[in-house]
């Protein structure tokens, strides 16, 4: 993916992300849904959900596309 991905929010659902600085061991996340400017992510580790502006996923200091 390019450094500024994701470009189109409609393609986010089902994508996988790795938190660069994981909190409480929650490193891998999957996008469950997108509503407006928000994306709902679920932690693979324990199923905890987190909502954030989808554009935050462009910040490579915090998120990388895929699971590493």
- pLDDT tens string 2-61: 455 666 888 999 999 999 999 999 999 999 999 999 999 999 999 999 999 999 999 999
Name the pTM for this structure: 0.86
pLDDT confidence of residue 8: 81
Neighbour-count burial for 18-32, b at 16+ CB within 10 Å, e otherwise:
ebeeeeeebbbbebe
pLDDT given for residue 60 in this prediction = 95
In the three-class reduction of DSSP (H, G, I as helix; E, B as strand; rest coil), residue 32 is classed as: strand
What pLDDT does residue 28 have?
98
Residue 32 · residue 13 · CB < 8 Å: yes
pLDDT band for position 68 (cuts 50, 70, 90): confident
Domain ranges of the chain: 9-62
């Amino acid at each position: 993916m390019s450094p500024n991905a994701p470009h189109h929010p409609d393609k986010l659902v089902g994508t996988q992300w790795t938190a660069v600085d994981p909190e409480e061991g929650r490193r891998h996340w999957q996008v469950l849904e997108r509503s407006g400017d928000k994306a709902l992510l679920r932690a693979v580790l324990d199923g905890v959900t987190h909502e954030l502006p989808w554009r935050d996923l462009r910040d490579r200091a915090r998120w990388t596309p895929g699971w590493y």
